[in-house]
Amino acid sequence: MINLNQLIIKFDYEQNFKDDDFYVSSSNKHIFTLLNQWPRWEKNFLNINGEKFSGKTHLINIFIKKFKGIKFDANLLSNKDLKTIKIHENIILENLDKNINEKLIYSLLNIIDLDNKFIIITSEKPLVEIDFKLDDLRSRTKNFLLQKIEKPDDELMFALILKNLSDRQISIDKKLIDFIIKRIDRSYGNIFNFIYKVDELSLKKKKPIDFKLIKEVLGD
Q: What is the pTM of this model?
A: 0.86
Residues 124 and 54: beta-carbon distance below 8 Å: no
Residue 12, domain member (yes or no): no
36 and 131 within one domain: yes
**140-151 pLDDT, tens per residue?**
999 999 999 999
d(Cα 49, Cα 121) in Å, to the nearest integer? 8
Taking the C-alpha atoms of 163, 165, 169 and 174 in order, what is their torsion angle to the nearest 10 degrees?
Answer: -100
* Last residue of one domain, picked from the residues 148, 165, 187: 148
The model's confidence at residue 219, banded by pLDDT at 50, 70 and 90, is: confident
Res. 15: pLDDT tops 70: no
What integer is the mean pLDDT of 153-177? 92
**66-123 pLDDT, tens per residue?**
999 999 999 999 999 999 999 999 999 999 998 899 999 999 999 999 999 999 999 9
Domain harbouring 100, CATH code: 3.40.50.300
Helices (H), 46-184: 56-67, 79-84, 102-114, 135-141, 154-167, 174-181
Domain of residue 101 covers: 28-148
**180-198 pLDDT, tens per residue?**
999 999 999 999 999 999 9
108 and 67 within one domain: yes
The model's confidence at residue 9, banded by pLDDT at 50, 70 and 90, is: very low
* Total structural domains within the chain: 2
* pLDDT at position 220: 72
Q: Determine phi and psi for 91, rounding to 5 degrees.
A: -115, 130
* pLDDT at position 94: 97
Res. 171: pLDDT tops 50: yes
121 and 56 within one domain: yes
